[in-house]
């Protein structure tokens, strides 16, 4: 099992390998003084790979000798070392907002990023938090899931505002999300909704404008609906939020949306019951969070929510990595395939009439 884990991990604290760009010259192996890099040398499949993550000291000899640019230096996320995360004054669940922000910043600084989010990089390099725990312990597959989710959400939003250029988008549980900066068409109305402590933090790094406003309320406080001036052509974004609630809470939310936002479209991510178990172990615990941050709601068949309310219609749904596996190495695709087959994390687009 340990050997298989190394296959999946194509990054150390200092370097990363894009196996799709590797030309299998093996020069990196010859110059590495610490036996960090090994190889897959099959007739049909050849590339360098990380075999000893902890041995890497950051000498960068492998990066400097790589002519194909398959090896690169891991982007530096500065942060500020803190003795106590509580200085951020966030609740246990809200602290997890740092994970996807970090993931987008890391992706943006890669040689060939699949997502560019310069605002995320700017925030990460300013926020008072030591990100080394996340950098060392969160697997590449988890980071890629955050990128896949962002790309999916961006695609759905752009399609929606192509149809309705002056639509209203409500980002529920916005955290330090920067989607607006990636999709704004100059006409949409955008509302970022989150708990007061998170909005207070958000205001330090992200500014409101005449079309972008912050709402300091819980999603369960129905009065936030009063902030939506035009209730036609509304889309709700719910990323990394619903699985922190109990099933009854999620069901109640969807019923509320039907009551005061008839015709609303919702884009969200969700986990299977197995996905909840895996995420709590692989992400929450390894990311340095405590058990009060554990995920709760899991659903194995998203079509079941249509039984909650006859007005709920699932427009589309898919496993997290379905549209992205082709972009990565064979080893990474194996991890993505396993995740998708087990329905660890998935994406959905619904409409509530």
Give the pLDDT band of residue 133 (cuts 50, 70, 90).
Answer: low
Residue 255 has pLDDT above 60, yes or no: yes
Residue 1 has pLDDT above 50, yes or no: no
Q: 351 pairs with which residues across the strands?
A: 265, 313
- pTM score, whole prediction: 0.75
Cα–Cα distance measured from residue 336 to residue 331, given in angstroms and rounded to the nearest whole number:
9
CA 342 from chain centre, in angstroms, equals 19
Instruction: Report the range out of 2-6, 111-115, 190-194, 342-346 with the highest average pLDDT.
Output: 190-194
* Helical (H) or strand (E) element with 346: strand 345-352
Give the pLDDT band of residue 242 (cuts 50, 70, 90).
Answer: very high
**DSSP sequence for 273-342:** HHHHHHHIIIIIITTT--GGG------S-GGGGGGT-TTEEEEEEEETTTTTGGGS-HHHHHHHHHHHHT
Tens digit of pLDDT for each residue in 144-181?
Answer: 899 999 999 999 999 999 999 999 999 999 999 999 99
Tens digit of pLDDT for each residue in 33-47?
Answer: 999 999 998 887 889
Supply the pLDDT for residue 286: 52
Question: Domain residues of the chain, as ranges?
Answer: 2-73, 85-137, 142-352
CATH number of 2-73: 3.30.70.20
Tens digit of pLDDT for each residue in 12-71?
Answer: 878 889 888 899 999 999 999 999 999 998 887 889 999 988 788 888 999 999 998 889
Residue 81 has pLDDT above 70, yes or no: no
How many residues can be counted in the chain? 353
Which CATH class, in words, describes the domain spanning 142-352? alpha beta
Supply the pLDDT for residue 69: 86
Q: SS3 helix, strand, coil % of the chain, rounded to 5?
A: 45, 20, 40
Supply the pLDDT for residue 280: 79
Cα–Cα distance measured from residue 155 to residue 142, given in angstroms and rounded to the nearest whole number:
20
């Amino acid at each position: 099992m340990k050997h298989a884990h190394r296959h999946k991990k194509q990054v150390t604290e200092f370097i990363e390998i894009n196996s799709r760009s590797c030309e299998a010259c093996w020069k990196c192996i010859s110059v590495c003084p610490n036996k960090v890099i090994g190889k897959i040398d099959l007739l049909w499949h050849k590339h360098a790979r990380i075999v000893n993550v902890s041995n890497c000291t950051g000498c960068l000899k492998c990066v400097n000798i790589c002519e194909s640019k398959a090896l690169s230096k891991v982007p530096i996320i500065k942060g500020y070392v803190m003795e106590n995360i509580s200085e951020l004054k966030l609740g246990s669940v809200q602290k997890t907002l740092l994970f996807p922000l970090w993931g987008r910043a890391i992706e943006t600084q890669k040689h060939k990023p699949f997502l560019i989010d310069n605002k995320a990089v700017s925030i990460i390099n300013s926020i008072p938090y030591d990100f080394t725990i996340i950098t060392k312990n969160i697997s590449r597959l988890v980071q890629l899931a955050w990128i896949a989710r962002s790309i999916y959400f961006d695609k759905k939003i752009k399609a929606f505002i192509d149809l309705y250029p002056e639509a209203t988008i409500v980002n529920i549980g916005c955290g330090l999300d920067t989607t607006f900066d990636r999709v704004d068409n100059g006409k949409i109305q955008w509302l970022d909704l989150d708990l007061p402590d998170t909005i207070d933090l958000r205001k330090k790094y992200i500014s409101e404008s005449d079309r972008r406003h912050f709402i300091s309320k819980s999603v369960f406080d129905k009065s936030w609906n009063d902030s939506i001036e035009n209730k036609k052509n509304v889309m709700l974004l719910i990323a990394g939020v619903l699985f922190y609630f109990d099933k009854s809470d999620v069901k109640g939310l969807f019923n509320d949306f039907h009551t005061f936002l008839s015709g609303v479209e919702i884009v969200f991510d969700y986990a299977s019951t197995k996905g909840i178990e895996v995420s709590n172990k692989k992400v929450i615990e390894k990311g340095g969070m405590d058990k009060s941050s554990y995920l709760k709601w899991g659903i194995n068949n998203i079509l079941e929510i249509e039984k909650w309310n006859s007005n709920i219609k699932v427009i589309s749904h898919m496993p997290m990595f379905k549209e992205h596996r082709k972009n990565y190495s064979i080893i990474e695709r194996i991890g993505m395939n396993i995740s998708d087959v087990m329905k660890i994390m998935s994406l959905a687009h619904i409409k509530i009439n």
